[in-house]
Amino acid sequence: MANRFEKIARKSVLNIKPYVPGKPIEEVQRELGLKNVIKLASNENPLGPSKLAAKAARASIAGVNLYPEGSAYKLRNVLAEQLKVKPENLIFGNGSNELLNLIALAFVETGDEVIYSALSFVAYPIAVEGAGGTTVLIPHKQFRHDMEGFTKGLSLKTKLVFLCNPNNPTGAIITKKEVEAFLTKVPANVLVVLDEAYFEFVGDAEYPDGLTYIEKYPNVIVLRTFSKIYGLAGLRIGYGVAHQDIIEIVERVRPPFNTSIPAQAAALAALGDKAHLKKTVKTNNEGKKFLYAGFEKLGIKYVKTQGNFIFVEFKTNGKGVFEALLKRGVIIRPMYDNFGRITVGTMKENKKLIKALEFLD
């Protein structure tokens, strides 16, 4: 049945394919009548949040009758000190996902082109098309960003470039050498967004810290989040770091109360719990080794990852594997064709996944 309001909707909005999140545990339990369900679909921290963060969030509830401080003053200043940037170089969002939309809204107009990898974060086209821009997709090169392709894709119409590093869904990185070579070729009036949502998981010495480029390249924006390693996905809080001139413009379109009181309190407390981060990285590294071995035994191809998820190629259709695993209480993220993305869980969860895959093999 046709939508009666399509004729008056913005054409760019009608082109958007809505974001489909990982299937919730509760939904699978309801639909299939299962009790024990694990979710390895959305790259969440399987250990949960820091106890300090959870305590701070609970304590903050007493003040939620008031609007939150839009500037996130306390969090802003502590984070600025940790990152060794100025407070005015920071902007906070309802997850870094919101910041993608705000950046596009602030800078992209009809006719502008935005470049990103054809195999990357699915939120990019939503941000671009929502702002009325045109997407320019660069084919991947063996599941990695083709930086030569990105350079060739630059044009007089280019306004924005999204570089997901490590890349979601493949977990591959763009090296320091590749990023620096690309930045030298990007015009000063083209913004380069380094989406570093999984920054803290990376152990590769060739991986660049995007913050080191902000002073030399004022057109660089770095995005990070408290959703992944910090385990605060449900509270929705992330941040961007950029030249003050860019921040001032994006602040014009930022909703005034976009990060909640509990989110700010939890994020601030999480910054002080380095032990939780270390434990998360250790759990992730051990989980990756276990899953690699399990996939190899089952003949499942995979891409070595620098994130907390693994991009895999099944022997059969990924959607079919996804549905079969659901019946065994395991939620993964199906991708195109035979591919899927699997979050690294606790060892108990990883073992349940492999056992379920063995049953399907």
Q: Are residues 223 and 316 in the same domain?
A: no
Q: Are residues 313 and 166 in the same domain?
A: no
Considering the entire predicted model, what is its pTM?
A: 0.96
Of 305, 281, 91, give the one whose Cα is nearest residue 207.
305
Q: Are residues 68 and 182 in the same domain?
A: yes
Q: Are residues 31 and 58 in the same domain?
A: no
Q: Are residues 146 and 267 in the same domain?
A: yes
From CA 267, how far away is CA 232, in angstroms rounded?
8
296 is a domain residue: yes
7 is a domain residue: no
Could you give the number of structural domains in the chain?
2
How confident is the model over 96-137, as pLDDT tens digits? 999 999 999 999 999 999 999 999 999 999 999 999 999 999
**Residues paired with 221 in a beta bridge:** 193, 242
- pLDDT values of the chain reduced to their tens digit, one per residue, 361 residues: 788 888 888 888 888 888 878 889 999 999 999 999 999 999 999 999 999 999 999 999 999 999 999 999 999 999 999 999 999 999 999 999 999 999 999 999 999 999 999 999 999 999 999 999 999 999 999 999 999 999 999 999 999 999 999 999 999 999 999 999 999 999 999 999 999 999 999 999 999 999 999 999 999 999 999 999 999 999 999 999 999 999 999 999 999 999 999 999 999 999 999 999 999 999 999 999 999 999 999 999 999 999 999 999 999 999 999 999 999 999 999 999 999 999 999 999 999 999 999 988 7
3 is a domain residue: no
Q: Are residues 320 and 186 in the same domain?
A: no
Instruction: Enumerate long-range contacts of 123-127, CB under 8 Å, 24 or more apart.
Output: 123/19, 123/97, 124/100, 124/162, 125/16, 125/17, 126/16, 126/17, 126/18, 126/19, 126/101, 127/100, 127/101, 127/103
Last residue of a domain, one of 213, 239, 271: 271
Q: Are residues 44 and 80 in the same domain?
A: no
Q: Structural domain of residue 184, as residue ranges?
A: 51-271
345 is a domain residue: yes
Q: Are residues 147 and 229 in the same domain?
A: yes
Q: Is 36 left (phi over 0), alpha (psi -120 to 50) or beta?
A: beta
Token look-up 């639909």 returns 31
Tell whether the torsion through CA atoms of 160, 166, 172 and 177 is positive or negative.
Answer: positive
260 is a domain residue: yes
Q: Are residues 238 and 124 in the same domain?
A: yes
Looking at residue 296, which CATH number applies to its domain? 3.90.1150.10
